[in-house]
Structure 1
Amino acid sequence: MISNSAFIHQSSYIDDSCDIGNGTKIWHFVHVLEHTKIGANCVLGQNVMAGPHVTIGDGCKVQNNVALYRGVTLERDVFCGPSCVFTNVLMPRAHVERKDEFGETLVKQGATIGANATIVCGNTLGEFCMIAAGAVVTRNVPDYALMAGIPAKRIGWVSRSGDRLSDELICPRTGERYAEDGDNLMLIKE
């Protein structure tokens, strides 16, 4: 079902059996394949391909030239930078059919993926993590982690608002406090 308040550019193509939420904007040359669910107030930029069987949560922004394959789930408020890549199999070969080997990729709430980053299938990106432009993610990413490099390594922590945290682990924008717990970071609820 497509919401009456969704905007779909006339050059885009939406397959049958897709759900598109209120206030979502789908721009030029987008293809949404069957059984794909797009939440409310999302933006899909030019030349995005989503599906089949992809879920995009409320408030997500998917920039130009991104392909979201079967098995990709974006929770709410995820940002996918231009031309970032989601792989769908680990060992692709043109002459070997591997459609039954697609890996599941979960991108949790509030995560940001930079331009031209690559997310290898089968991994989970934690809540509010930030993947630097051009990074290659080859393993699970903790909540709030700032990841960069090839392969991506944690180089720091970021807050829910996306600001880099100093050693004091206090967000310079909001004043929220965080605490390390081993290799993880958590928000301190006051």
Structure 2
Amino acid sequence: MMKMRLIFALLILPFPSILKVWFYRIFFGYKIGKKVKIGLSAIIADKCSIGDRTRIGHFNLFYRNQDLRIGSDVILGFANKIFGGAVVDIGNKCHIFRFNEINSILDPLVLGDFDPRLILGEGTVITVNHKIDFTDRVTFGESVVFAGRNSNIWTHNRQKTAPVSIGRNCYVGSNVQFVAGSSIGEYCVLALGSVVTKKIDGEWKVIAGMPAKAHKDLDEDSKVLVTYPTRPDLQGITGALPTAG
């Protein structure tokens, strides 16, 4: 069944968006909202829902996702790969730029339970050329900016897995690493080149180092990094912001 879907998805790749959307609705049973545009991209999932006004650019590939959920007003740029997983949930108003590799290992040899889910909160931004492994659960809170280039998230270490989470309104710099079982709190800035090896609690913090730790509170000038709207083209994506303690 999956191979047949792959063949049909590749055959309709050059179709105009309006025909491609119709084909996915009728023959694949996908639930696709109004004013959705799909470029030269293929979507091969067991189940798929796409919200209104979402735009999927060229050369993106969704493959072997069991339950793919893409919200409204989402932008998927160019040449992103999103493979596998029990659930891929891309929240409303997210923006995934280009050349990102986001995957869950298919049929992994894992000791114990694992939860292959990718959850991207509303307004999350993932920029360029990042690698995210969600063999176990990866959660981004609302309005996370996974910025710069060449960052990695790993949820597996040979046969062991553990989830990774990034709290809402965090700003993550370039070339950072998250190991299995690590996390950071809310309204934090993670400095360029950091390696997160454990759970780091707290809010409104600057986190940095190898291994990373909370160094100081965010000053007033730095708070713009975690409060500025991730999608300024849309209104009201961050909600009410709490007051710094």
TM-based fold match above 0.5: yes
Consecutive unaligned residues of structure 1, counting only runs of 5 or more, are 93-97, 165-175, 180-190
| Structure 2: distance between partners of 1:134 and 1:159 | 21
Q: Which runs of 4+ in 1 moved over 3 A?
A: 159-162, 176-179
Identify the structure with the greater strand proportion. Answer: 2
Asked whether the equivalents of residues 114 and 133 of structure 1 are also in contact (C-alpha less than 8 Å), the reply is yes
Number of positions where the alignment pairs a residue of Structure 1 with one of Structure 2: 161
> 2:76 matched to 1:26?
yes
Deviation, 1:160, is 9.2
Q: Which amino acid aligns with 2:163?
A: E
Q: Which amino acid aligns with 1:24?
A: V
2:141 maps to which residue? 75
Deviation, 1:63, is 1.0
2:191 to 125, 132, 144: 132
TM-score by length of 2: 0.60
2:215 to 155, 162, 172: 155
Consecutive unaligned residues of structure 2, counting only runs of 5 or more, are 1-48, 105-116, 225-241
Deviation, 1:148, is 1.3
Q: Which amino acid aligns with 2:91?
A: G
TM-score by length of 1: 0.75
1:49 maps to which residue? 101
RMSD, aligned CA: 2.4
Asked whether the equivalents of residues 135 and 150 of structure 1 are also in contact (C-alpha less than 8 Å), the reply is yes
Q: Which amino acid aligns with 1:10?
A: H
Deviation, 1:162, is 4.2
| Structure 1: distance between partners of 2:220 and 2:162 | 27
- Name which one, 1 or 2, has greater alpha-carbon Rg: 2
2:92 maps to which residue? 40
| Structure 2: distance between partners of 1:36 and 1:161 | 35
1:116 maps to which residue? 175
Correspondence 1:80-91 to 2 at 5 A: 80-81=146-147, 82-90=149-157
> Secondary structure of the equivalent of 2:203?
coil
Q: Which amino acid aligns with 1:154?
A: A
Q: State the identity as a percent.
A: 19
